Amino acid sequence: MTKKLTRNTKDTMIAGVMSGLATYFDQDTALFRLIGAALFIFTVFLPFGLLYIAAWIILPVAVDHEPEYTIVD
């Protein structure tokens, strides 16, 4: 089974991009959020902010395999 980079909308603060990256690399979400915040501050928005927005648009949302409803007979 291949891993796919997606946005995680279950564990999100803004768009789920950092959570998706953390899930893809099997790391803690807080670590990726701290690195992202530091990059955002030190690059003064332009490179990191634009890449984040592009990832928000390009990355697909993670698909849950749980049904949203139950069927009652």
Query: What are the pLDDT digits (tens) for 4-23?
Result: 888 888 888 889 999 999 99
Q: Is 66 within the bounds of a domain? A: no
Q: Is 10 within the bounds of a domain? A: no
The alpha helices in the chain, defined as continuous H runs, are 17-24, 29-42, 46-58
Quote the pTM value: 0.76
Q: Indicate the number of domains in the chain.
A: 1
For residue 7, give the 3-state DSSP assignment: strand
Q: Is 68 within the bounds of a domain? A: no
Q: How many CB atoms lie within 10 A of CB 62?
A: 17
For residue 52, report the phi and psi dihedrals to the nearest 5 degrees.
Answer: -65, -45
Question: What is the distance between the alpha carbons of residues 68 and 59, in angstroms, rounded to a whole number?
Answer: 22
Its domain, for residue 21, covers 17-58
Q: Is 26 within the bounds of a domain? A: yes
pLDDT digits (tens, 9 = 90+) for 13-71: 889 999 999 999 999 999 999 999 999 999 888 888 899 999 999 999 888 766 667 77
Question: What is the distance between the alpha carbons of residues 70 and 26, in angstroms, rounded to a whole number?
Answer: 31
